[in-house]
Structure 1
Amino acid sequence: MTASVSRARATASAAAIVSDERGRVLIVNPVYKERWNLPGGHIEEGELPAAAARREVREEIGLDLEIGDLLVTAWVTRAEGSHVFYVFDGPELSPEQQQAITLQESEIGEIRFCLPEDISPSMVPPFALAIWRKALKAREDNRAVYLELAL
């Protein structure tokens, strides 16, 4: 590997694909960003990615959900630095769980369930859409995927 250790440093976040009984994916609209995201967020110092995904989902939608297998690890290099995204499989929410969702109002303005094909490039950053699509395919294929994206 030719990259130096200092260049390889990156921030990291973890998210989960949570769905409903109709196969729609839960997405959240953060109040501090223009575009939608999967529920998830920053991995804290010393925290494992799956634990971060569970914590972030709990904080954002008020449900303590089991986090499943890793679907995607994506290394994204941008002008502002590199970031590693971990996307995990999440559960299918029952109607009762959907009714119990409580938004963290300081971070999440609204949520919605969308069919994957209805999530347009205008809704999410283009690199995020590529990661989400790979995660959904990995979920379908029962096979984790690694991506490297340079923006």
Structure 2
Amino acid sequence: MTWTEPAIWYANLSSFYAAAAAFITDPAGNVLLVKPTYRDHWAFPGGYVDEGEYPHEACAREIREELGVYVTVGDLLIVDWAPPSGQRPRAIISFTFDCGTMVDLDGLNLTQQELDSAAFFSAKEAEERLPGNVAPRVHSAIHARAQRTPIYLASGSAATTHSPLPR
């Protein structure tokens, strides 16, 4: 193996986008989703991680910006890796954090240019409103919260974290 200048080596590594979202429920376990103005579907509150920002910081910032509230960003619930797709030329890694429970939506101050609405939905209703590759995060987040352990998904599907043993 030949030695490579660090600048060249790093420049040749793959790069990806990162996003952070909040998993928030009401006391009955209904899931908070937001309806972005620029999409046809609902989403978890959150957004892209800025350069130099940690994912948990991005989650808190996005909730402040989108919903006008401060939340405590808790445990990491989901890590979901998706390869490049459509207009997105790079892979994306999505982090979903447990941001607790809200009694109601009274304290929210939605960013009108970004969001049309916010509402709580049952797990089934939430899955129906989310894109197919994001919908599995609902039950995965519920399970991860209950088990207090993160879940790794690959394009929304359960992924194994080990390779099969050689024969």
Q: TM-score, normalised by structure 1?
A: 0.88
| CA distance 1:9–1:132, change in 2 (3 Å) | farther
Q: Which residue of 1 aligns with 2:140?
A: 134
**Pick from 99, 123, 126: which aligns with 2:106?**
99
Q: Which residue of 2 aligns with 1:32?
A: 38
Higher Cα Rg, which structure:
2
| CA distance 1:150–1:114, change in 2 (3 Å) | closer
Secondary structure (helix, strand or coil) at the match of 1:118 reads helix
Q: Using the TM superposition, give the Cα deviation of residue 99 of structure 1 relative to its aligned residue in structure 2, in angstroms.
A: 1.0
Determine whether 1:73 maps to 2:79: yes
Aligned residues between the structures? 145
Deviations 1:13-61 (A, max 9, x none): 1001111121111100000111110110010000000010011011111
Unaligned runs of 5+ in 1: none
Matches within 5 A, 1:1-151: 6=12, 8-79=14-85, 80=88, 81-95=90-104, 98-121=105-128, 123-149=129-155
Q: Is the 8 A contact 1:13 1:85 kept in 2?
A: yes
Q: Is the 8 A contact 2:133 2:156 kept in 1?
A: no
| CA distance 1:131–1:57, change in 2 (3 Å) | same
Distance 1:116 1:50 in 2: 24
Letter in 2 for 1:101: L
Unaligned runs of 5+ in 2: 1-8, 158-167
Bigger helix share = 1
Greater RCO (Cα-Cα under 8 Å, separation 6 or more): 1
Q: CA RMSD in A?
A: 2.0
Q: TM-score, normalised by structure 2?
A: 0.80
Q: Using the TM superposition, give the Cα deviation of residue 94 of structure 1 relative to its aligned residue in structure 2, in angstroms.
A: 2.9
Q: Using the TM superposition, give the Cα deviation of residue 150 of structure 1 relative to its aligned residue in structure 2, in angstroms.
A: 8.3
